[in-house]
Amino acid sequence: MSKQIIQTSKVPTPIGPYSQAVIANGFLFASGQVAFNPATGELVLTDIQAETRQVMENIKAILEEAKLSFANVVKTSIFLSDMQLFAQVNEVYGSYFTADFPARETVAVKTLPRNVNIEISITAVISL
């Protein structure tokens, strides 16, 4: 098995021993993204919709670096600090997909890194 590491300056640099994304066996596996704005290095915590939008933009940058798009995404995992945020998150999240939506789970967790409200990871297929 060979693997390719995907790294872009358009998303925050990992703060631990992990890659932004890895391509292996025809799939891209992206690490969970939180709402760091790569231009400012600050978290976008204005409201849950702005936070979700920044997370999705970070995912978009990783996909673009791998020459993919949201159409290639086959699975997402959404982690929320509170399920009361689900409807607002779903509204923003849904705006990034047009059809043939990916499989998904959404779970509430006790705490997320840096006390953010949302983290999303994705798996994408290289060719459709």
Give residue limits of the domains in the chain: 3-125
pLDDT-derived band at 15 (thresholds 50, 70, 90) equals confident
pLDDT(14) > 90? no
pLDDT(1) > 80? no
pLDDT(44) > 70? yes
pLDDT(37) > 80? yes
Reading the block at residue 102, the tokens are 């990916």
Query: If you average pLDDT over residues 65-92, what whole number do you get?
Result: 98
Candidate CATH numbers 3.30.1330.40, 1.10.8.80, 3.30.470.20, 3.10.510.20; the one for domain 3-125: 3.30.1330.40
pLDDT(31) > 90? yes
Q: Mean pLDDT for the chain?
A: 95
How do residues 113-127 score in pLDDT, each as one tens digit?
A: 899 999 999 999 998
Give the pLDDT score at 128: 63
Whole-model pTM: value is: 0.95
Q: How many residues does the chain have?
A: 128
Beta-bridge partners for 48: none
Query: If you average pLDDT over residues 11-36, what whole number do you get?
Result: 94
CB distance 114 to 33 below 8 Å: no
Separation CA 34–CA 57 (nearest Å) = 10
Query: If you average pLDDT over residues 96-116, what whole number do you get?
Result: 95
